Amino acid sequence: MKPQTNVQTFVPSPLCSFPALRAQASSLLFGALLICEAFLPHDVHATTITIEPDNYPVGTVLTSISPFVTLWTTSFDNVSEPTFAVSANSVPSGAPTGSEVFAAGGVAFWETGQRLRMDFHASVSTISIDFAGSSAFDTEVGRLDLYDAVGDLIAEDDTSPLAKGETEVMSLSGDFIPGDYAIAYTAVGNFGKLDFLQLIIPEPSAAALLAVAGLALAGLNRSLNRRGAERAED
């Protein structure tokens, strides 16, 4: 007589294996991403855009030198005046960096009636620009204003009173969006110089990764539920 073989097939219960797997995946995924969110600076992968007049030949028009910002000359009303193009211009002394500064129609100083306007074409987290006092008779104060797309002032920064040759960086930080614009000029005095413009363009941060992870986890849950149902039917 042929011996009988008792063969047992073990089918794991979907009520045990899949919930456990889902719980483990959830814990690992969210644990890792929450650590990332807590310790990773949101601007760690930000892009810094620099417009330095010294990097261009004297007389170079800088109006559209960057796709992220357009440079204009304006007057008291902050309306762009294309007639006086923003350019790189050399000065004998007093430039915050190197020997070239921003100029309006070849004039290398900025005052209340001649201002530098910077229109954003991307989200910006920080804008900074150098200001130098240039008057031999009195101190001067630089100002950086930030406006939204409808022209409402949302932020401003003033330098301390600066004597001729003294330099200070004007800077504003926030969640600035395309359409916003900045205005830089001499608020007190008439001969301040502007130089070395920088913009920080933020990239997706850990918060965005968390959102993507949430979608991935939802997909994982659907997949496990479907597989569990198929096992149960078998």
For residue 118, give the CATH number of its domain.
Answer: 2.60.120.260
Domain assignment present for 21: no
Contact 65, 56 (CB under 8 A): yes
Q: How far is CA 213 from the centre of its chain?
A: 24
What's the whole-number mean pLDDT along residues 86-97? 96
Share of the chain above pLDDT 70, in %: 68
What's the whole-number mean pLDDT along residues 14-42? 51
Which range is least confidently modeled, 11-20, 51-60, 181-190?
11-20
- pTM comes to 0.71
Closest CA to 186 of 205, 164, 216: 164
Phi first, then psi: give them for residue 176, nearest 5 degrees: -90, 145
Domain assignment present for 97: yes
Closest CA to 71 of 51, 97, 90, 55: 51
Domain assignment present for 212: no
Domain assignment present for 112: yes
What's the whole-number mean pLDDT along residues 51-56? 98
Domain count, the chain: 1
Domain assignment present for 232: no
Q: Which residues of 187-214 are buried (b: 16+ CB within 10 A; e: fewer)?
A: bbbebbbbbbbbbbbbeebbeeeeeebe
Domain assignment present for 217: no
Domain assignment present for 122: yes
Residues in CB range of 223: below 8 A, 6 or more apart: none
Which range is least confidently modeled, 50-59, 67-76, 163-172, 201-210?
201-210
Specify the pLDDT at position 155. Answer: 97
Domain assignment present for 175: yes
What's the whole-number mean pLDDT along residues 73-85? 93
| Residue 136: domain span | 47-201
What's the whole-number mean pLDDT along residues 186-202? 97
